Structure formats: structure tokens, C-alpha cells
Amino acid sequence: MQLYNTLTRKLEQFEPTDPEDVKLYTCGPTVYDYQHIGNYSAYVRWDTLVRVLQASGYDVHWVMNITDVGHLVSDADEGEDKLEKGAKREGKSAWDIAKFYMDDFMLGLTALNIQTPTHIVRATDHIAEQIELVKTLEQKGYTYTIDDGVYFDTSKSKDYGKLARLDLAGLQAGARVELNPQKRGATDFALWKLTPTGQKRDMEWDSPWGKGFPGWHLECSAMSMKYLGETLDIHTGGIDHIPVHHINEIAQSEAATGKQFSRFWLHCNHLLVENTKIAKSAGNGILLHHLAEQGFTPLDVRMLLLQSHYRTQANFTHGALQAARQRRLALQAFADLRFQTIDGGELDAAAFEQTKAVMLEELKEDLHTPEALAALSDLVTAGETNLVSANAHAAFVEFLDFVDATLGLQLLASSDITSEQKQLIREREEARRNKDFAKADQIRLALDANHLAVRDTPLGTIWSRTA
RNA sequence: GGCACCUUGGCGGAGUGGUUACGCAGAGGUCUGCAAAACCUUUUACACCGGUUCAAUUCCGGUAGGUGCCUCCA
């Protein structure tokens, strides 16, 4: 499999260290608010990665974190984090906020047919591991303590910022953030933040350095290493994570272990809405339930995302979502032909095998989902024209299973029509043979009331769902 | 100010040094008892200006426009 590795900025052949098992870590959400479609787009992308790895024969140990503490509102902030802020906003505790939005996130994953990671881990459940990691770094001399916390000294880090290819000198000159004057370097980052004297936070823990909470980057290193070991095969995240979060993860992890933290780094680009960055201030953070109100399902969103490549900046528009929905419905109608394979149908097992091979090849080439869909659409066209041979029924179902496994569109979730509905179709065919067109049209209306459309082919009547 | 990316037909969106991406929408047609569906065809797409080349949308340089990151962010 070929994957684009941000470390080298090149497509590389991917093989896991353990040939049986891929160790994959994905940066998950901070659960202080609803996740919008932009947030979810990343998880659809990484779910696709997992699916393709699985289809390529690997077991995947997939860990995703839930950040339920410690992401500061800004670098210059005096200690308020998003959870605390959300709690203040809603008059609840930070713990309640985290639970509520994490539960909502999990529902969103299910709705989008994103597989549940092997481990989905909360930062607050791993405070001890994070403290241990800081202790290790302290023992190895990578830290210093100032009035508001324990910091990582990036000047001691070998190749700091290599992933981001940062111009550190330029970065410092152009820094707009007010630094804590005690910080030794502009890029140094907090490992443990101390609760200011006299204050009480919803979330705080005792530590060797005093009461406080872990720094922003610590959890990913501590939890990924706990569940996957010191070297990951693949670490994924949004493109925005490259310059700060991921270089800091690398710095602290590699300082602690002396080993490479992750062999591959994959980053997805952001989804725009109407060609604009999704931002709270722009009010364009569309939620899944907004789309549901307009009659779109989460799978329509999934289709929209599959039509673009994960490293491009895709654009979400109402028109594009409509188009994606139409395409998905056409695909579903094709899948429903498995209930209607027919003697004389021309699509045979070989056609399914061939398309599967093309799709898998495209997907294994850095997740070329648009090309995989194009190959699928070609087959759909052929199937609608020539119908599916009765001999190919098993191959067809197997093929659809492959498509569901890789693209996650749940094509096999539909069921056959009822025997009553089938009887109606037979009666209509009989009426047409008898040239009793009035009766035939009457039955067609009855079928329409059942949300079924029929089309008459030389080989017989084929139905499709209209809703 | 620094760094990076992008500019493809009505919309979305791939890809390639010479061959139809694909999807959605529109138009015409075929088929059909009819309607629908389905299928076929279709509007000569690659921002602009140079360069390299037998040949560039596809490589190089420049211009214009756009976006992202540098600051919590998928």
C-alpha cells in the first residue's frame, strides 16, 4: 500500500512493523461542543484508511483519544481551558460537558458508519500515565519548571519541528503571542500546568509538581504508547496539527523513549463550507442534525467526502451534497439488483471481480477514493443497462460486501421487497401481456404508493425504491 | 511579516506529457402501450503570459486571483 508520509513529503510503500498488525493512532476531538461536519470529515477519512488496511489483509489496532481536559483557549491564557469555558457557558461542570459531548460524538461516529476504534481513550482516565511521562522527561533533563507549570525545553530536542519543516528563527521573529517571560524558548510547551494559587478548577489532579492538569500535547503521547507501544506505524490527524501538536508529540515522545515515535504521519486537509473555512465566528459549522432536517443522511455526507481525496481541501456546498445524495441513491438501487438477478443478465462474476480489483488497487494507492468510486460507477452503469446474471448472484453479494467494507456505504443494509409487492409486480406483468394497460397502470400507481418504481426491460420488470 | 498549497466544463471533483475520469444538473435522442425509469449523445474543461518539448491541462519560470498554517482547531 502506498501512503503519503508527511515526514518525507512523499508517497511511500507502507508495511507495518508487525506484518499481522497495524498500530494506528488518530488524534480525536476535544469534547467541549458539538462536532461539525468538518470535524467528522477527518474521522471519515481515517475510517476509510482503517477499512482499506483491513481489506488489504491487516488487523488494525486503532486508538483514538478523547480530549476531555487541558486544551487551553490560547497560549497566553492564564489557565482556562475549553472544558472549563464550556462548563461556564452552560452552567455545568467540566465533567458533565465532557460526558455530554463525548456521547454525542460517539453517536455521530455510528451515524457516519465510522468503525469504533479498538480503543477510544479519555485523557482524564490516563492522568497517571501522563504524570509518569513527565517524570521520565524530567529525569532525562528535558524539562524545567516555572511559576505556572512544567515545560518541555525544545532546544534540547533533536530535530525539533522536523515534521513541520518550520523556520524556527522566522517563527520566533514573527510570533504574535505574548509569552510567559519565564519561558526559555518560544516553542517550549507546557507538560503540566499548575492551578494558580487560590483557585479551584473542576478538573485538577495532584502531581509531584503540585495540583494542576496535563498540558495539551501530553495525552496523545502517553496514551498511544500505553496501547500501541513506543513506535506507531501510523499517526493521523488534521493538517492543522502538523506545526504545533504533532511536532510536540514527536519531541516529547522521542525524548522519553529514544525511539522513533511514528513511522508514518498522515494528515487530511480541511473541509471548506461554501469555499470558506469552518469557524465558529462564521457560523458555518454545520452539524449532522442540521442536515437531517433538510432530508440528508450522514451517509450522504460520507459519499460527498469519498468523492474527494483526503489531502485536498474539499468544498462542502448544498448542491454538492444533493449530488452526492443522488449518486448514493443510484448506488443503492444498483445494490438492490441483488434481489433481482435474472437469466439473461449480462453482468457476470468476472465483471465484479475486475471492478473489485481496480477499486482495491486505487484505494491502496494513498486512498484514491474518487477513482474507486469512478470504477464503481462504471459498473453501476453496466449493471443498469445489462442487468445482473442469475449466475452471478453470489459474486454480486460478495462484491457489495467488499464495497461496504471499504467505502462504508451500507449498501447491504437494504432488504428485499415483500411477497405482496412481488405479487403486484407479477400481476402487472400479466396485465401487460394481456394488453390490459388500464390495470397495469393502476398497479403501477399502487406500487408507487409503496415507494416502488418499475421499469420494463426485455428480460422482465425491475423495481427500484423511490424512498 | 514567514511558510505552504490551490486555480479543471453549470456545480462537485479525479487524473495525465499525446487516448472519454467519474458523479450531479441541463439539452437532444433511443427504447416503451403510455408515463417514468434506464440507456445513448451532447455543450470542443483544464486562470493568464512566457519557456522546455515533435507534443503541455500535465514539466519550468513569471503574473493575477484564492485558500490554509504560523494562534485552540479535523
pLDDT tens-place string over residues A402-461: 999 999 999 999 999 999 999 999 999 999 999 999 999 999 999 988 889 998 888 889
Q: Mean pLDDT over residues A366-374, rounded?
A: 93
* pLDDT for A26: 95
Cα distance between residue A154 and residue A170, in whole Å: 16
Of residues A160 and A131, which shows the higher confidence score?
A: A131
Closest CA-bearing residue to C1' of B72: A73
- Determine the nucleotide nearest to A37 by Cα–C1' distance: B74
Nucleotides of B under 7 A from a protein CB: 1-5, 10-15, 21-25, 32-40, 66-74
Considering only CA atoms, which of A105, A104, A55, A102 is closest in space to residue A83? Answer: A102
- A36 conformational bin, left if phi > 0, alpha if psi -120 to 50, beta if neither: beta
* pLDDT digit string, tens, across residues A147-171: 889 999 988 988 888 888 766 655 5
Which range, A140-149, A158-167, A191-200, A226-235, has the best average confidence (pLDDT)?
A226-235
For the whole model, what pTM was predicted?
0.93
User: What's chain A's average pLDDT?
Assistant: 89
- Distance of C1' in B27 from CA in A53, Å: 44
- Distance of C1' in B42 from CA in A323, Å: 20
pLDDT band at A173 (very low <50, low <70, confident <90, very high): very low
- Distance of C1' in B28 from CA in A455, Å: 22
- Distance of C1' in B16 from CA in A248, Å: 39
* pLDDT for A78: 42
- Determine the nucleotide nearest to A27 by Cα–C1' distance: B74
Strands (E), A115-218: 119-122, 143-146, 149-152, 189-194, 212-214
- Distance of C1' in B36 from CA in A442, Å: 14
- Distance of C1' in B16 from CA in A426, Å: 50
* pLDDT for A82: 67
Grid cell 518541555 — which residue?
A152
Grid cell 390495470 — which residue?
A439
What is the greatest pairwise CA distance in chain A? 93
Q: Is the pLDDT of residue A278 over 80?
A: yes
* Residue A337 DSSP symbol: G
* pLDDT digit string, tens, across residues A279-288: 776 778 899 9
Of residues A200 and A107, which shows the higher confidence score?
A: A107
Q: What type of residue is A176?
A: R
Lowest mean pLDDT across A218-222, A312-316, A427-431: A312-316
Strand partners, A316: A273
Closest CA-bearing residue to C1' of B73: A240
Closest CA-bearing residue to C1' of B12: A320
Distances (CA, A) of A310 to A19, A110, A243, A264, A380: 25, 20, 19, 16, 24
Of residues A175 and A258, which shows the higher confidence score?
A: A258
* pLDDT digit string, tens, across residues A60-118: 999 999 998 855 443 334 445 666 777 777 778 888 888 999 999 999 999 999 999 99
Closest CA-bearing residue to C1' of B37: A455
Q: Are A220 and A245 in contact (CB under 8 A)?
A: yes
- Distance of C1' in B33 from CA in A155, Å: 84
- Determine the nucleotide nearest to A239 by Cα–C1' distance: B74
Closest CA-bearing residue to C1' of B31: A457
- Determine the nucleotide nearest to A74 by Cα–C1' distance: B72
Q: Mean pLDDT over residues A345-364, rounded?
A: 93
CB atoms within 10 A of CB A10: 10
Interacting residues of A339 by C-beta distance below 8 A, sequence separation 6+: A416, A417
Q: Are A23 and A234 in contact (CB under 8 A)?
A: yes
- Distance of C1' in B34 from CA in A384, Å: 22
> Which residue stretches of A10-114 are H helix?
37-55, 82-90, 94-111
* pLDDT for A95: 87
Lowest mean pLDDT across A178-192, A230-244, A334-348: A178-192
Q: Is the pLDDT of residue A176 over 50?
A: no
- Determine the nucleotide nearest to A307 by Cα–C1' distance: B13
* pLDDT for A171: 56
Q: What percent of chain A has pLDDT over 70?
A: 93
- Distance of C1' in B64 from CA in A179, Å: 38
